[in-house]
Amino acid sequence: MGVGWKRNDPRTFVGRGANPGHGSSPNIAKPGDFSIYGKNNQATNAIDANMFRRILIANRGEIALRVIRACHDLGIEAVVVYSEADRDAPYLELADRKICIGPAPAVESYLKIANIISAAELADVEAIHPGYGFLSENPHFAEVCRECKIEFIGPPQEAMRRLGNKSEARKIAQSAGVPVVPGSEDVIKDDEEALRLAHEMGFPVLIKAAAGGGGRGMRIASNDISLRTGLNAARQEAENAFKDGSVYLEKYLENPRHIEVQILADQHGNAVHLFERECSIQRRHQKLVEEAPAPRLPPDVREQMCQAAVRLVQAAGYQNAGTCEFLVDKDNRFYFIEVNARIQVEHPVTELVTGVDLVQEQIRVAAGEPLRFKQTDITLHGSAIECRINAEDPYAGFRPSPGLVTRWDVPGGPGVRLDSHVTAGYRVPPNYDSLVAKLLAHRSSRPETLAVMRRALKEFRVEGIKTTIPLHREIMNQSSFIEGTVDTGFIERYWKH
């Protein structure tokens, strides 16, 4: 089926033509320059001979729109791909060109490498931005891009491959002096080895798939019997899901906090962190609320954790934007668990508190530019919180609620950022992730941020679909959230609808 698919469909290759506009003169400061770009830094919109002229966005929804915006802010043409399910989506009109890559099911469109590469060829782009999900952490896709001489806006496929194996990532972390959860040094060879290790570290232990991540393929074991059954189940599950049944062991930590560190690394050996995000409020490994900085994290722990993240990505030969995930226990000891080798859903939280446009920086480093700021140029500004608004019914087990949005009245005003591709009259397709908006608040202190978020959630009026907005209204008034004492058990303890 290739991209020639539906060649005769007049809508297939309709675009708005070339992007008219980056005729801005050099040396005009952009918002954001104030905080991080040094005085002698030529941080301008000057047209760089090495900068991409046209990028393909291999994603959909809010992140496709987010990347279109970054492209246009950089004077780059944005070409977006879409499936039949998304053909009427309004954000497509904001791209300079749109190309249909197949039917609704993601495996036939957004995950179909041949179709995406054909679209890139057709549109004559120099680079592909994969967004998050879909092909974003697929080293084979990055390899195909390289073979086709298209820049993949993400880490090199070698780094992606090594970090994609979570047991390998643990080894890299250890080699860089980064603390990991006590556990196996490698993948498990046989049940006897697993039993011996479990007795050494003490039950409960967690069996994790080496090829897993994000909570897929995990089993808790609290004794010899559940360890044996868990090993078999986890191996089977991992074999089916990832065609790699290897597993490793970690000591199971009870209700830790989940804190991740944002990093950026260029092709010249420079790497910086952009502080952390607290991501403990999640349900079934889907995050609901994220914030920066992590409340009640002692400054010395923050510093240690952020420096550990930089050492880790440098040891891994990592480039571009990435995230190091840590678990943090009651005594604020932190343990590395995995690297997310992509831009993440919650990246705007970090953008608000640092003033760095992470998607722009991804594009710049992929084009070979050195980072424009040093670690000491990056400072924390206030507090930011993000609420993920999903088309789900939080009062019905988070059942997906796709369909026609009949009312979409969005909040605004001081301290509010809304990243969304949705408009009134938009139909949320049933085929993909149900994220419809990311609502963010940013103020100079956490109580003020909370006040703005409560006010914004009150202003937000959606009809036609069920959303998680009412749940967020409750979370923003929940005492442990207000106190900043949440952990990964929060939703299970608190949300009993």
Q: Using CA atoms, how far apart are residues 124 and 146, in angstroms rounded to an integer?
A: 15
Nearer to ligand MV4, 252 or 408 (CB): 252
Q: Using CA atoms, how far apart are residues 324 and 273, in angstroms rounded to an integer?
A: 10
* Residue 198-237 contact track with ligand MV4, rule CB under 6 A, x = bound: --------x-------xx----------------------
C-beta of residue 74 within 8 angstroms of C-beta of residue 30: no
Residue-wise DSSP of 459-494: H-EEESS--SHHHHHHHTT-HHHHHT---TTHHHHH
CB of 220 to ligand MV4, least distance (A): 8
Interacting residues with ligand MV4 between 163 and 192 (CB under 6 A)? 181
Q: Is 484 in the site for ligand MV4 (CB under 6 A)?
A: no
The residue within the footprint of ligand MV4, chosen from 96, 237, 250, 291 (CB under 6 A), is 250
Q: Using CA atoms, how far apart are residues 275 and 381, in angstroms rounded to an integer?
A: 11
CB of 204 to ligand MV4, least distance (A): 9
Handedness of CA 85, 86, 90, 96 (dihedral sign): negative
CB of 335 to ligand MV4, least distance (A): 7
Nearer to ligand MV4, 115 or 488 (CB): 488
Nearer to ligand MV4, 106 or 207 (CB): 207
Handedness of CA 242, 246, 252, 258 (dihedral sign): negative
C-beta of residue 357 within 8 angstroms of C-beta of residue 67: no
Q: Which stretch binds ligand MV4 (CB under 6 A): 98-106, 231-239, 245-253, 357-365?
A: 245-253
Q: Using CA atoms, how far apart are residues 406 and 410, in angstroms rounded to an integer?
A: 13
Interacting residues with ligand MV4 between 318 and 377 (CB under 6 A)? 325, 327, 337-338
C-beta of residue 434 within 8 angstroms of C-beta of residue 390: yes
Residues in contact with 406: Cβ distance below 8 Å, sequence separation at least 6, in sequence order: 424, 425, 463, 464
CB of 287 to ligand MV4, least distance (A): 8
The continuous run of DSSP H or E covering 152 comes out as: strand 151-152
Torsions phi, psi for 341 (to 5 deg): -90, 55
Q: Which stretch binds ligand MV4 (CB under 6 A): 80-88, 251-259, 364-372, 398-406?
A: 251-259
Nearer to ligand MV4, 11 or 296 (CB): 296
Q: Which stretch binds ligand MV4 (CB under 6 A): 168-176, 221-229, 244-252, 294-302?
A: 244-252
Q: 248: how many CB neighbours lie within 10 A of its CB?
A: 24
CB of 225 to ligand MV4, least distance (A): 20
Q: Which stretch binds ligand MV4 (CB under 6 A): 140-148, 249-257, 361-369, 422-430?
A: 249-257
Nearer to ligand MV4, 170 or 438 (CB): 170
Please tell me the count of residues contacting ligand MV4 according to CB under 6 A.
Answer: 17
Interacting residues with ligand MV4 between 382 and 411 (CB under 6 A)? none
Q: Is 253 in the site for ligand MV4 (CB under 6 A)?
A: yes
Of the candidates 480, 416, 483, 420, the one whose C-alpha atom is nearest the C-alpha of residue 453 is 416
CB of 207 to ligand MV4, least distance (A): 10
Query: What length does the chain have?
Result: 497
* Residue 258-297 contact track with ligand MV4, rule CB under 6 A, x = bound: x-----------------------x--x------------
| Token duo for residue 154 | 């993400």
Q: Which of 277, 302, 342, 372 is labelled catalytic?
A: 342
Nearer to ligand MV4, 120 or 247 (CB): 247
Q: 107: how many CB neighbours lie within 10 A of its CB?
A: 9
Residues in contact with 426: Cβ distance below 8 Å, sequence separation at least 6, in sequence order: 89, 90, 404, 405, 408
Q: Which stretch binds ligand MV4 (CB under 6 A): 68-76, 248-256, 422-430, 455-463?
A: 248-256
CB of 256 to ligand MV4, least distance (A): 6
Residue 258, strand partner residues: 327
Nearer to ligand MV4, 329 or 459 (CB): 329
C-beta of residue 360 within 8 angstroms of C-beta of residue 74: yes
Strand pairing report for 461-463 and 407-409? antiparallel
Q: Using CA atoms, how far apart are residues 104 and 98, in angstroms rounded to an integer?
A: 16
C-beta of residue 391 within 8 angstroms of C-beta of residue 467: yes
Nearer to ligand MV4, 275 or 490 (CB): 490
Nearer to ligand MV4, 134 or 248 (CB): 248
| Token duo for residue 48 | 């760089």
Q: Is 447 in the site for ligand MV4 (CB under 6 A)?
A: no
333 is catalytic: no
Nearer to ligand MV4, 215 or 412 (CB): 215
CB of 252 to ligand MV4, least distance (A): 5
CB of 243 to ligand MV4, least distance (A): 20
Place of tokens 């990028």: 55
| Token duo for residue 83 | 């499936």
Q: Using CA atoms, how far apart are residues 276 and 171, in angstroms rounded to an integer?
A: 22
Applying CB under 6 A, which residues contact ligand MV4? Answer: 181, 206, 214-215, 250-253, 256, 258, 282, 285, 325, 327, 337-338, 488
* Active site members: 342
